[in-house]
Every structure is written in structure tokens, then in C-alpha cells.
Chains A and B, each alone.
Chain A
Amino acid sequence: MIEARIQLNRGSFSLDAKLSVPGRGVTALFGPSGSGKTTLLRAIAGLDRHADAYLKVGDTVWQDRGTFVPPHRRPLGYVFQEGSLFAHCSVIKNLEYGFKRIPHGSRRISLDRAVELFELSPLLDRRPTDLSGGEMRRVAIARALLTSPRLLLMDEPLSGLDLERKGTIMRILERLRDELDIPMLFVSHLPDEVAQLADHLIYIRNGTISAEGASEDIFSRLDLPLAHEPDAGVMIRTIAAARDEEYQLSRLEFDGGIFMVARDAGPIGRPVRIRIPARDVSLTLSRHSDTSILNVLPATVEEIVEGASAQVMVRLRVGGSLLLARITSKSAMALDLQPGKGVFAQVKSVALLDET
């Protein structure tokens, strides 16, 4: 839906990005700090004008050699980092700002709906200076949404929040993803956030886009620097299947088997995303029953790549999903791991990405 090509040189920083963002679902612009994510986001919004840029949204060209559609004419919503708001307006006035400026016919979200969705009723008459970080964030997202944008852009929507607030905002964003039909593009450098929220990833590093694709695929690729990060690991979509009250365990089903997690995964039938850090996956050649590890899954080795400090990353296929394991070179040698070999993956910990 969005095709963009941006090229710019600013002193020591240069950006050469060519990307396409799907017209549905949530896409994350993901990469380490300073990689140019925010620059790219701002360029898409038209906040910075770059000479060498091309931007096409749907069938409309927003930026070209001779064309530049200014930001106020682009049907985008933008949530700035730290959720900044107009200091001289109350919360309700902030919310109304964009809302009032779009024609009646274009309003797909009503003020009341937004207030309800974001739980803003007690806050309406307050000034931004009297709001907490989390509250400001909610107002900022609501404000952007009230312009009924064709695309919602968010710059690090969860940064600077404590764990609890992050959870609240995350839940709101998930609701937006699942209930509204507005595609979202957000910037983040945290894999957990990205894994929980995004369906599609654009991985950017040092001003260039290294990879694009579905979240699960990107997280499981060994050819990206991502795989060599300390917290590298896959994301798998599961469904909550059963709950064992006696042992306080939840059963998650996916297309490669099941996971048992010592956490409450919520109501049965609920989609749950999980992340499995590669360092928490160990491999055996035969199934052990005398182990404390709950989750042992049969898997096939697909690819092995050497990493730093005598370690290797192994990509495994588990049914329809992929798993990453990081083990020592020595072990890899000892187990004689090769592509195609059948093994058992022992998953020591599973991170539930949406805690209720």
C-alpha cells in the first residue's frame, strides 16, 4: 500500500531506504537506535522534506521530484515520541483538534468512541501538565486516531513508560489492531514490543533496510544481525487451549505442537504470541523424560550459522513453525549437527507476550 524510497545525507548520517508497507495490519520499523527509523517515519509523514524522496500511498503520489504533499494534507495520524500534547489546551480540546478539522463524512471514529476506548472520561478537563506519562500517551494516540487516518504512525509508542503502563498501552494498541481497520506503522528498537504487536517487520540498520517480511520470518532468519543479538529468538503464534489449575499451567497450541507455560494465558481460544529466546533452547539427540524442562519438542535442523565467541545459532523447524537455538560450537560438534538432522528442542522458558 505504501511505497517509499528515501535517500538523504546529513553529515555523518545517511539513509537509503526502499520499502513497502502493507495496507493492513501492524508494521514495525525495527532496528537499533540511530538506524534512521524516526527519520524515515518523519519523512513518510512529510515532517521533514528531503530532496531525494519518493512516496506513494495507494494510488496517490505524495512525494516526488516535483511534488510534495504537505503533512496537513496527508491522511495520516502521527503519535510523537513521549506522546506530546498541546500544553495550552485541555485534554478534550486536544482530542477535538484534529477531529474538528476533518469533514463530517470522513469521520469513522466518534469522539465518544475514542474516549471510551482509551478510558479518558475522568481526564477530559485536565491539562497535559497534570497527566501522567501513560495518560498522556493514551490521549496522544486517541488524538491521532480521531483524524480517521488511513495510516497511523507511531514513534516509539511505549518508550519511557513503566512496565504497567506499557501493558496498558500495549493492550490498547492490540485492541486497535484487532478491532479497527486502520493499518499502523510504528517505530521501536525492542524486539519484545515488535514481536507482540507487529505482523510485518521492516528491519533497518545503519540507514539501510536489511530485511522485510512477516514477523515470524524475520525473527527466525540467521542472515540478519538480529540473530546475533543476545536476546535473539523467535516469535510464535499460539492459541490458549487449556488450563491446569492444579499446577497453574496453561496449555498453548501451535502448528508444531504444544507449549506448557507456568502463566495465565487467559481465556480459552485466545490468540497468544510468545517469544522464545535462543539462549533458552537446548538440543538433545534423544528424548529425555528425566528432565525438569516441560517443553521438549521434536525438531529438524534447517540451518547452522557460526556466531561470536565459539557459539552457533541453529534454526530448527518444529512442525509449521521455526525455532532458534544458541549453543556452543563444541556441543554442535559433539552432536554432529547438520541440516536435516532430527533432534529434540528443550525450551527452558517461554515469554508470554501478552500478559493479562
Chain B
Amino acid sequence: MREFIYRSATVTVALFGLASFQADALDIRVAAASNISRPMKSIAAQFESNTSHKVLLSFGSTGMHYAQIRNGAPFDLFFAADEERPERLEAEGVAVPSTRITYAIGHLVLWSPEKDRVDSEGRILVQSSFEWLAIANPKHAPYGRAAREALESLEIWDVIQRQIVRGENVAQAYQFVATGNAEIGLIAYSQIRRANAETAGSWWRVPQSMYTPIRQQAVLLKDRPAARDFLRFTSRNEAKKILRDFGYEVPTERDAGGK
């Protein structure tokens, strides 16, 4: 009897497995923020080798993705650079309810490609001994907003206005600094962190107390098992390790859910 149950259970599970294989062996379309392109590619590759799914990644600005999704773009998942856009999609009923999670937490750093430019306490900001400071646009980019908050905490936001140059996103802010057009920039730690090598230049990690944490959230758009699987996968340890390697903080179990 036990053997019969055991055997039928195995067969059933196998059948289920088979069935799910056939039903979900479709591509998963993911819209993801440009700043997580590198870790996301690794995570997707890992996922693909573990399962039989294929992940199609589209990187871009969160604002553009939001607009596209609102107008019917066929994405299954949305990995944003902030919380606001996923929140909106949920509130507007576009996203699948109760699927919003924080998948990564970004950190702000002040960076210069030159070795001894930025001191370990970021005093250069207050001393104002630079021509241009690059930040992302505080109006709509999460890292820009964080930069502004940090500068306001330091009480130099108004003073420093004439020296601020805005990139449309943190990637642009990075470009400005990397090409030497701006000497320093408030950018994402993930942009300068190298997994296998020492970080080039000099930087100061802006204390978390100075700005609202940059919680990058994801949300499910189409309720498909394969998509759900991928979303779940990004919270798994393998994925978390990848994110950490790329300089992101990963949420603990406590703050993994939506706010």
C-alpha cells in the first residue's frame, strides 16, 4: 500500500513537473533598471542554467519602463531603480497585487577616479575645492534624490548649486566623472565596485543616515508561474550573493516585503 502511494506520488509529481515544463517553457520578459544590468545578467544566467526557462532582459530608465508598461508593454516583471514606480503600478492595478518586493538596496558614494582626491570623510565637499560635482537628476532619479538629501544634510545644497552638474541618471553622472569632465560625483557604489579588483580612484561612502535608503523594488506584472519563479529566485541566496558582489546591499528578511 505504502509503496503504491509512494509510486503514484512520484508519478504525479513527475507528471506535474512535466506539465509545468511544457506549460512554462516560454520566455520571461523582464524590464530592469540600467544600473543593475550587470548583476541582473548574472542572476538571469544562473536562473537559466537552473531551470529550462529563458529570461529576456530589457534594460532602460525606470521612468521609460513605467510609461511603457502603463501603455501595455508586454513585460512579465519590472525591476525598478526606486520604490515609487512599482508602488504606482500596484496602486493603479497594473501590477499583480502583493507581489512587490525590495530586491536590492543601493548605496551612495562620492567618487573620483583620481587616487587622492576624495578623502575618507568626504570633506572635499564642504571645502568646495572642486569645479564640478556630478549627480543624477534629483527630480526623477533615485540616486539623484539621495544625493540631494545628502547634500542637504551637510547643509551645503544651496551653496553648492553652481557647481552641480546633472546627469539624466546615475549612469550619466558616472560618465561625467569617468571622462574627467566633473572631478567628483555622487554615484552608486555598485558602479565602482569591482568583484575581483580593487576599486580605482578614491571614494567616500556616504553614511546611510544622510539619505533615505535607495530601495530598489520589483513587481510582478503578469501572473505566470515562470515569472513568479524568477522573482522568487532573485531573493534567494545565490542571487543575493551576486548582488552583494556587485556592491548592492540586500534586504534582510524583515524588509524584503513592500513598505
A contacts B: CB pair < 8 Å: no
